[in-house]
Structures are given as structure tokens and as C-alpha cells.
Amino acid sequence: MAGKAVARAVNQYFLGTCMVSSKQNAAKVRIPRLVLDEHIHMYFKEYENIYANDPQKLCKTGDVVLVKVLPQKLTRLITHEVVEVVYPLGDMTDPITGKKIVASRYREHIDEDTKLYGRKDSAFDYSKAPPRGRLENIRDFTHKKLYLKYYDDPENPQKDTI
């Protein structure tokens, strides 16, 4: 009995990736979990998609977010709530040191290497890179309301459909 209560308390928070959602004030979150295959005794990753309440529009597509289970369902689909954006899509930050990283190296170390060996013309300059969100309404339409496409008509194209 006590083990079930502890497991229920532990499974209140989940880490997932925000996906494209057609719901207003809700984010679709993809949560990975490991499932044991009894036949070969191996774990395989499976994904579960949930809808989380996000009235402040904290997360955008691609962000890693922390969600928690709501005590009562808001609707038939919305069963969770977005707590915070852990890692926004784009610039990666080391969670322990708080420094910016590129792949597996700190940006500071990359800058030291360029000072030692010189900068190439083709090298990317991270200090001059614009922040995320500069391409809204140009190439990034994740902030717009989407709806499902119900028909195909070349005479009447439907914008912002999935």
C-alpha cells in the first residue's frame, strides 16, 4: 500500500518535448518512457502524447518542458499543466555550470581555440547570432493558431493547417 502511494506521488511531474498543437491555451507534450519487453528482457522507448494547460503560452514547439498532473481534468483531453520551460529550443545551456555549450564543448573553449589558431571566414560567430524568435511570421509559425485540414481544394487553400 505504501509503495503505491509513493509511486503515485513520484509520477506527478514529467519531462517532455512540446509538439505542434491545434488546441487553444494548451500545449501538446511528447513524453518518453521505457517499456520492458518480457520476451527478450530489453527496454524500448515509447512515447505518449498528452495535452497540458498552458494559458500563459510559456512553451513553443521544440522546447523541453516540465509538466505536472492536474488534480482534476480540465477537459476530456487536458489532464496536465505546464510548470516551466526547462530548455528552450536553440541555445543549449549546461544545467550545472550555466554556461552555453555547442555539442559537447563550452563556447568559452571554442573562443580560446580561435584565439590560438585564428578565426576562419566560414566559422560561425555565436556572439552575433540573433535570439530565437526573430523569424516569427517569416519562417516560424509556431505562435499562430493551427487547425486541422478537413478537405483539399486547390481553389480554396487553407492556411495554417496540419
| pLDDT in the model for residue 100 | 86
What is residue 90's predicted lDDT score, i.e. its pLDDT? Answer: 76
31 domain-assigned: yes
The tens digit of pLDDT for each residue in 105-120 reads: 998 998 899 889 998 8
Within-domain flag for 158 = no
146 part of a folded domain: no
151, part of any domain: no
Number of H helices, E strands in the chain: 2, 8
Question: Does some domain include residue 147?
Answer: no
Query: What's the pLDDT score for residue 17?
Result: 94
Structural domain of 36: 13-89
Cell numbers at 124, concatenated: 560561425
pTM of the predicted structure, to 2 decimals: 0.68
Query: For position 41, which CATH number holds?
Result: 2.40.50.140
Count the domains in the chain.
1
Contacting residues for 23 by C-beta, under 8 A, at least 6 apart: 51, 77, 78
Which parts of the chain register pLDDT below 70? Answer: 1-10, 132-137, 139-149, 151, 157-162
Kindly state whether residue 125 falls inside one of the protein's structural domains. no
**pLDDT value of residue 91:** 74
**160 and 144 in contact (C-beta within 8 Å)?**
yes
